[in-house]
Structure 1
Amino acid sequence: MQELVPPTVPVPLSVLTDDAELGLRQVAGPDGRETSVYSVHTSEMADPLPYLLGGELLLSAGVHCEPGPDQGAHWERYAQRSVEAGAAALGFGIAPVHDEVPAELKDACDRHGLPLVEVPRDTPFTAVARSVWQAITQRRHQALRRLSESQQTLAAAAAGPHPVPAVLGQLAQRLDAWAVLLSPDGGELASAGTAPPDDARAELASLTGLLRPGPSSAAGTAGELHLSVYGLGGVGRRKPLALGLCAPHRDGIDGAIATVAVVLLTLLTERRAAAAGEQRSAALVRLMLGASAEEAAPLLGGGAQRWAVVHGRRRRGHGTGARGDGPTGTWHEEDPFSTTALAAGLGTTLIDVDGGELRALVPVGDGGADGEGSLSVDPQQGWTLGVSRPVPADGLDRGEREARRALRRALAERRPLVREAADGEGELADVASLVSPDEGRALAKARLAPLDGRPDLVETLRMWLSLNGSWDRTAVALEIHRNTVRQRIARVGALLGQDLAGPDVRMELWFALKWR
Structure 2
Amino acid sequence: MVVLHNRPTMVVQTVPLRDLVARVDLGLTVLCGTDALDRPIRWAHVSELADPSPYLVGEELLLTAGVRFPSDVPAYVAGLVSKGVSAIGFGVEPEFPTVPSSLVEACAAQGMPLLEVPPSTPFLAVSQALGALLAEIAVREQRMLADSQRALTRAATRVRPVESVLTTLAVVLNCRADLVDPTSAPDELASLVARVASGTGPRSASTQVGEDHVTLDPVESAVLVVRRDTALSPAERAVVAVALALLGLLRRDVESERGQIARVAASALLRSQVADVTGVLGPGPYRVVAGESRADYDVLAQRYGPLVSKEGDGFLALVPAAFEVSGPVGVSSPFAEPASAPAPISAVEDAAAEATALLARAKATGAPALPASDLSSLVDPVAARAFARRELAALLGRPELVETLRVWLGQHGSWDRAAAVLGVHRNSVRHRISHVERLLGRDLGTADARASLWLALTWLD
With the shorter chain as reference, the TM-score category is: 0.5 to 0.7
The structure that is helix-richer by fraction is 2
Aligned match of 1:60: 64
Q: How far apart in 2 are the matches of 1:5 and 1:364?
A: 50
The correspondence of residues 320-359 of structure 1 with structure 2, limited to 5 A, is none
Matched, 1:144 2:142: yes
Please tell me whether the aligned partners of residues 44 and 63 of structure 2 are also in contact (alpha carbons under 8 angstroms): yes
The separation in 1 between residues aligned to 2:74 and 2:90, in whole angstroms, is 15
The one-letter amino acid of 1:134's match is A
Structure 2: segments with no counterpart, 5+ residues: 257-265, 268-275, 278-296, 331-335, 356-461
- What's 1:250 paired with? 231
Deviations 1:336-368 (A, max 9, x none): xxxxxxx979978xxxxxxxxxxxxx6679x99
Distance across 2 between alignment mates of 1:45 and 1:208: 49
Q: Report the equivalent of 1:268.
A: 250
Residue of structure 1 in register with 2:291 after alignment: none
Select the residue among 202, 221, 246 that pairs with 2:208. Answer: 221
Letter in 2 for 1:256: A
> Following TM superposition, by how much is the alpha carbon of 1:258 offset from its aligned partner in structure 2, in angstroms?
1.1
Match of 2:20 among 11, 16, 28: 16
Residues of 2 paired with 1:143 and 1:224: CA distance?
Answer: 24
Instruction: Kindly provide the amino acid, as one letter, of the partner of residue 227 in structure 1.
Output: V
The offset of 1:3, in angstroms, is 9.5
Are residues 1:211 and 2:211 paired? no
Residue 145 of structure 2 is aligned to residue 163 of structure 1: no
Comparing both chains, which one has the higher relative contact order based on Cα–Cα distances under 8 Å and sequence gaps of 6 or more?
A: 2
d(CA) in 2 for partners of 1:183, 1:9: 34
Partner in structure 1 of residue 182 of structure 2 = 184
Number of aligned residues: 309
What does residue 104 of structure 1 align with? 102
After superposition, the Cα gap between the structure-2 partners of 1:30 and 1:48, relative to the gap in structure 1 and judged at 3 Å, is farther
Partner secondary structure for residue 126 of structure 1: helix
**Matched AA of 1:247:** R
Deviation at 1:115, TM superposition (A): 0.7
- Shift of residue 103 of structure 1? 1.9
CA distance in 2, matches of 1:164, 1:118: 52
Instruction: Provide the rounded CA distance (Å) in 1 between the counterparts of 2:352 and 2:192.
Output: 29
AA paired with 1:78? Y
CA contact (8 A) 1:41 1:58 kept: yes
Change (3 A) 1:30 1:368: same
Counterparts of 1:175 and 1:100, CA distance in 2: 45
The one-letter amino acid paired with 2:246 is L
Are the equivalent residues in 2 in contact too, given 1:406–1:418 (CA < 8 A)? Answer: no
Work out whether residues 157 and 314 of structure 2, in 8 Å CA contact, stay in contact via their aligned partners in 1: no
CA distance in 2, matches of 1:245, 1:218: 11
User: TM-score, normalized by length of structure 1?
Assistant: 0.51
The alpha-carbon deviation at position 95 of structure 1 amounts to 2.3
Whole-angstrom CA distance in 1 between matches of 2:7 and 2:135: 18
Q: Give how far 1:232 is off.
A: 0.8
Amino acid at match of 1:33: L
Name the % identity.
31
Provide the alpha-carbon RMSD of the alignment: 4.5
Shift of 1:210: 3.8
Residue 402 of structure 2 corresponds to none
Mapped partners of 1:213, 1:16: distance in 2: 44
Could you say if the C-alpha distance between residues 406 and 364 of structure 1 is closer, same or farther in structure 2, counting changes exceeding 3 Å? closer
C-alpha deviation, 1:127, in angstroms: 0.7
C-alpha distance in 2 between matches for 1:242 and 1:137: 34
Alignment deviations for residues 142-179 of structure 1 (CA, whole Å, 9 cap, x no partner): 01100111011111111233211111111111011121
Equivalent residue letter for 1:91: G
Whole-angstrom CA distance in 2 between matches of 1:112 and 1:18: 23
Q: Which amino acid aligns with 1:264?
A: L
Q: Is the 8 A contact 1:387 1:403 kept in 2?
A: no
Q: Which residue does the alignment assign to 1:90?
A: 88
* CA deviation vs aligned residue, 1:106-136 (integer Å, no higher than 9, x gap): 2221222211111112211001111111111
Amino acid at match of 1:211: V
Give, in angstroms, the shift of residue 257 of structure 1.
Answer: 1.1
> Contact between 1:14 and 1:34, CA under 8 Å: does it hold in 2?
yes
Q: Does 1:37 align with 2:35?
A: no
TM-score, normalised with respect to structure 2? 0.56
SS of 2:136 mapped into structure 1: helix
Structure 1 unaligned regions, length at least 5: 188-200, 234-239, 275-282, 285-292, 295-300, 311-342, 349-361, 379-385, 390-401, 420-516
**Aligned residue in 2 for 1:434:** none
Distance verdict in 2 for CA 1:5–1:166, change over 3 Å: farther
1:220 CA drift (Å) = 2.3
